[in-house]
Amino acid sequence: MLVFAQLVDLGANTTLFSAISAVADVMVAIIVVILLRPDPVLWRSLASVIVPIIAALLWASIPSFGHGPTPISATVGLANLAGAFACLVAGFAIGARMGLTRRFIDVIVVLGLAYIILSLGLRQEDPLHVWGYDKGLAQQRFTGTLLNPNAAACTFGVIAVLAVGRLQVAVRQSTGRGWPIPLLAMAMICVLTIALGLAACALTGSRASLVSSIVAVVALFAIPARRRLRSRGRVRRVIMAVAIALICAGFFAFLQAPVAGRFETFSIDAADRWMALTHHLALANRAPWFGYGLGSFPTVNAAHLTPANVDILWNFGAVHNIVVQTAFEAGWPFPCLMAVAVIAGIRILVRARKLDSADPLMLAQTFAVTLVFACACVDITLSIPALVALTAVLSGTVLGRADRARSSQVVV
């Protein structure tokens, strides 16, 4: 609920609320760990992920307190990192507890549906503002409760992807015992969440998020059907592929207006993004070890505006690439250490040998986290504190679940 409260309040993307949210994240994470009391073996098993992240946080503190832009921005930046780490740890504890992941995803899907409906309602009420805040250059685009349409699209996509995994669990639970009312209600909620989530994602006009979300949803439906189709002949496999293609084509046709115009300007936007990325990469390479300090991007970016780039870069609040963004503010060792943690996490997932139809929730969570990182490579997705918190807790949950799956059968 805390994460969705942050999403509702502009994604906690203000100095004051991001600091408050970070403190709340840490407090809630402590309570979760105390209540769940995970086995100490869990922390030893996940040390390959935890240790590099702690090292990255310590590294980021050096430029922030050494020569950062202002003490306030540096402190808030460190608080946000600490809050994200706390969400990750809380996720570890949730995922490690047998049967708790499903209930956790239930909460996310239900709250996610409410969030999507609220976002669509706000658009209907006042398409030019969010809670009275002017959307600026994004006035003509749907941004949900955020001020950035691409971050909003990624959020909607994540919710839809998680709903697919939960729907598959509901279908599995119905086998042999029919559809009791609570299970049927959850399945209907999931179907509605998938439909509205993808529709809201498309309404934002975000190309990367929409394409990534559709690919993830189609893959999640296709993977469990793979084994069944193998035994049903080539004709049925072709029919299934054509059906999926027609569904996707129909979806794009239904939402042609907000999507088509964005794809028509792809080449122009790509050239502008590339120019911006190379400019910010060059700036990051000028301070390769410690960067410019957490929260320094707006100040440094404004100081390096020129007549040649001001038309494109004047309103940038972050680098449109998470790797360059973290290197910009904390030096290249920070993303390198985080990459070590990511690789360690992938190894844990691979060793779990559960990334298949045997565990739809783990697969859906993995796809959801991958979706966020894919979007963060071309946009400012992971510069929104609320989305960082959501990604962190999902990452922790799937890793905690994977670690437990290595030695026991997962209960969904």
222 pLDDT band (50/70/90 cuts)? confident
pLDDT average, residue stretch 123-148:
90
Per the prediction, the chain carries an average pLDDT of 87
Residue 227, pLDDT score:
59
Among 54-68, 262-276, 291-305, which is the least confidently predicted range?
Answer: 54-68
174-214 pLDDT tens trace = 876 778 888 989 999 999 999 899 989 988 989 899 889 98
Report the DSSP beta bridge partners of residue 133.
130
260/68: higher pLDDT: 260
pTM of the model: 0.92
pLDDT at 363 over 60: yes
Residue 224, pLDDT score:
74
At position 298, the amino acid (one-letter code) is P
Among 36-50, 173-187, 232-246, 354-368, which is the least confidently predicted range?
Answer: 232-246
Identify the three-state secondary structure at position 157: helix
Residue 96, pLDDT score:
92
- Helix (H) and strand (E) counts in the chain: 18, 2
The proportion of the chain whose per-residue pLDDT surpasses 70, expressed as a percent, equals: 85
Q: CA 130, 136, 138: angle at the middle one, nearest 5?
A: 80
Q: Please state, in angstroms and rounded to a whole number, the distance separating the CA atoms of residues 108 and 348.
A: 24
Report the DSSP beta bridge partners of residue 129.
134
Copy the structure tokens of residue 48. Answer: 């390959």
The proportion of the chain whose per-residue pLDDT surpasses 90, expressed as a percent, equals: 61
pLDDT at 403 over 90: no
Q: Please state, in angstroms and rounded to a whole number, the distance separating the CA atoms of residues 34 and 23.
A: 17
274 pLDDT band (50/70/90 cuts)? very high
Candidates 388, 398, 396, 397; CA nearest to 155 is: 388
Residue 410, pLDDT score:
44
348/255: higher pLDDT: 348
Q: Taken in order 383, 384, 388, 389, is the CA torsion positive or negative?
A: positive
Residue 34, pLDDT score:
96
Residue 258, pLDDT score:
61
Cβ 49 vs Cβ 344: under 8 Å: yes
pLDDT at 300 over 90: yes
Cβ 132 vs Cβ 185: under 8 Å: no
Cβ 137 vs Cβ 315: under 8 Å: yes
Place of tokens 């002017």: 134
Encode the chain in three state secondary structure.
CHHHHHHHCHHHCCHHHHHHHHHHHHHHHHHHHHHHCCCHHHHHHCHHHHHHHHHHHHHHHHHHHHCCCCHHHHHHHHHHHHHHHHHHHHHHHHHHCCCHHHHHHHHHHHHHHHHHHHHHHHHHHCCCEECCEECHHHCCCCCCCCCCHHHHHHHHHHHHHHHHHHHHHHHHHHCCCCCCHHHHHHHHHHHHHHHHHHHHHHHCCCHHHHHHHHHHHHHHHHHHHHHHHHCCHHHHHHHHHHHHHHHHHHHHHHCHHHHHHHHHCHHHHHHHHHHHHHHHHHHHHHCCCCCCCCCCHHHHHHHCCCCCCHHHHCCCCCCCCHHHHHHHHHCCHHHHHHHHHHHHHHHHHHHHCCCCCCCHHHHHHHHHHHHHHHHHCCCCHHHCHHHHHHHHHHHHHHHHHHHHHCCCCCCC
Q: Torsions phi, psi of 133, nearest 5?
A: -85, 130
pLDDT average, residue stretch 244-248:
60
pLDDT at 238 over 70: no
pLDDT average, residue stretch 129-136:
90
Report the DSSP beta bridge partners of residue 308.
none
139/376: higher pLDDT: 376
pLDDT average, residue stretch 134-150:
90
411 pLDDT band (50/70/90 cuts)? very low
Place of tokens 């038309």: 311
